[in-house]
């Protein structure tokens, strides 16, 4: 059999680490072990029935053909109305594209704009697919580690230091996956001031967790704070997180006409437009009752608080209370260098995550895959019972470690902190 030779692009990347973590947990469960699975990055709620009914109605009406490459006018107008109503922004349909999920929209943007050697600033901790999508499109991801004392957020000084003549994009994800960090108005204004000095840098705003926020701070949009940057900003959003529509694969982008046109060309020669049925469903979701969003956010808030209360009793871990999204990003640096009961050394966060899975049946995702070693991510899109049991297993696992260098690495008791 002739050996398959992969392209350089395919060789640059691997499967998404969170998907790999989930697969390991499922394999362990299939072997007969009981596993508490807290790796998920999708809502555990079902898509609301009224959104499903909109899709069924579209099917019944025969809306089963190809649509315009950028998406139906119905959906793009619904997106335009949403941006005006909720964000105070003006984007006509010509400046909007629908894609097969927000991820696809981001991919299209990079495919349409990156040239070999172009740099994309990716603040860490980051969603794992950001650097991979840059690399597969011939770009160079430039990772900037966020500091815990800054709430894992990018600061103006660190942004300024990272920009070079090759910088093409800055990615901002707020609320953040995995940290739950939310940028406030003052922080965004500070970043905007830096970007005004570098007109060659574009801004990609990943706002998929826009509505999943627990803080009472300002919700003023980036482009109402810095409207002069609209001509080099791409907004990315979708139905996956607010409406529990991950499997529908429907998202959207809004930006300058020239960029949207280029992204549409790329899309036309790859996937073509997204599903006509998914487009009808998202249009209905954006125009319909938003009570589901409010109720799900309240449920996430209660789960977050439950998890944080449990974490606060475990020595050797630290966690800043997430202000949004549905993850807790936990600092486990005090445990690195520990030894398990069977003599295995915990030399990294990946070792700790494997220990949790194989010794205690708790599945989480390592921080290294998010660009932040000595951390791990816990998802709280799970029922209360699973969260309680997951926290119990985590506490048992930590107690079972012998920490020879705990004092050197920091041995303070975990307390959740607000930054």
- pLDDT tens for 144-176 read 999 999 999 999 999 999 999 999 999 999 999
Predicted pLDDT of residue 136? 96
Q: What is the mean pLDDT of residues 188-213?
A: 98
**Residue 182: CB atoms within 10 Å:** 23
The full length of the chain comes to 419
Note the pTM of the prediction, 2 decimals. 0.94
Mean pLDDT of 116-128: 98
> In the chain, what is the greatest distance between 2 CA atoms, to the nearest angstrom?
68
What's the whole-number average pLDDT of the chain?
94
Domain 8-33+292-409 belongs to what topology? Answer: 3.90.1150
Q: For the chain, which residues make up each domain, given as ranges? A: 8-33+292-409, 49-289
User: Which of 235, 260, 273, 269 minimizes the C-alpha distance to 84?
Assistant: 235
What percentage of the chain exceeds 90 in pLDDT? 90
Section 318-330 average pLDDT: 98
CATH architecture of 49-289: 3-Layer(aba) Sandwich (3.40)
Which of the four pLDDT bands, split at 50, 70 and 90, describes residue 418?
A: very low
Res 404: pLDDT: 62
Higher pLDDT among residues 108 and 412, named by residue: 108
**What's the average model confidence in pLDDT over 236-251?**
98
pLDDT of residue 22: 87
pLDDT greater than 50 at residue 193: yes
- C-alpha distances (whole Å) from 29 to each of 248, 268, 328, 358, 398 are 27, 41, 23, 11, 22
Compute the average pLDDT of residues 252-256. Answer: 99
Alpha carbon distance 187, 193 (integer Å):
10
Residue 408: is its pLDDT beyond 60?
no
């Amino acid at each position: 059999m002739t050996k398959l030779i992969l392209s350089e692009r395919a060789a640059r990347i691997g499967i998404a680490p969170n998907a790999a973590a989930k697969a390991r947990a499922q394999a362990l469960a299939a072997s007969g072990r009981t596993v508490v699975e807290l790796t998920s990055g999708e809502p555990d709620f079902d898509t609301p029935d009224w959104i499903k009914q909109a899709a069924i109605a579209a099917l019944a009406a025969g809306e089963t053909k190809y649509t315009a490459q950028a998406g139906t006018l119905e959906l793009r107008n619904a997106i335009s109305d949403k941006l005006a109503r909720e964000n105070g922004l003006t984007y006509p349909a010509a400046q909007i594209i629908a894609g097969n999920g927000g991820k696809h929209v981001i991919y299209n943007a990079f495919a349409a704009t990156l040239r070999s050697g172009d740099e994309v600033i990716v603040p860490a901790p980051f969603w794992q697919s950001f650097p991979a999508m840059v690399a597969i499109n011939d770009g160079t991801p430039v990772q900037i580690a966020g500091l815990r004392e800054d709430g894992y957020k990018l600061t103006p000084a660190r942004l300024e230091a990272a920009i070079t003549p090759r910088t093409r994009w800055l990615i901002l994800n707020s609320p953040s996956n995995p940290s739950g960090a939310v940028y406030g108005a003052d922080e965004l204004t500070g970043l905007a001031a830096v970007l005004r000095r570098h007109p060659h840098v574009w801004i990609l705003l990943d706002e998929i967790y826009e509505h999943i926020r627990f803080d009472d701070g300002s919700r003023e949009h980036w482009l109402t704070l810095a409207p002069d940057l609209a001509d080099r900003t791409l907004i990315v959003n979708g139905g996956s997180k607010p409406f529990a529509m991950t499997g529908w694969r429907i998202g959207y982008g809004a930006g300058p006409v020239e960029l949207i046109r280029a992204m549409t060309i790329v899309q036309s020669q790859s996937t073509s437009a997204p599903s006509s049925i998914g487009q009808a469903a998202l249009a209905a979701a954006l125009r319909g009752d938003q009570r589901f969003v409010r109720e799900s956010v309240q449920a996430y808030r209660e789960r977050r608080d439950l998890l944080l209360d449990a974490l606060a009793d475990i020595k050797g871990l630290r966690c800043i209370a997430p202000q949004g999204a549905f993850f807790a990003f936990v600092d486990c640096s005090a445990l690195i260098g520990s030894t398990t009961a069977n003599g295995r050394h915990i030399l990294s966060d990946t070792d700790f995550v494997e220990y949790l899975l194989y010794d205690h049946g708790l599945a989480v995702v390592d921080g290294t895959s998010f660009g932040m070693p000595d951390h791990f991510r816990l998802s709280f899109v799970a029922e209360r019972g699973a969260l309680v049991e997951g926290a119990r297993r985590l506490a048992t696992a930590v107690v079972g470690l012998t920490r020879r260098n705990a004092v050197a690495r920091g041995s303070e008791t975990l307390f959740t902190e607000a930054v």
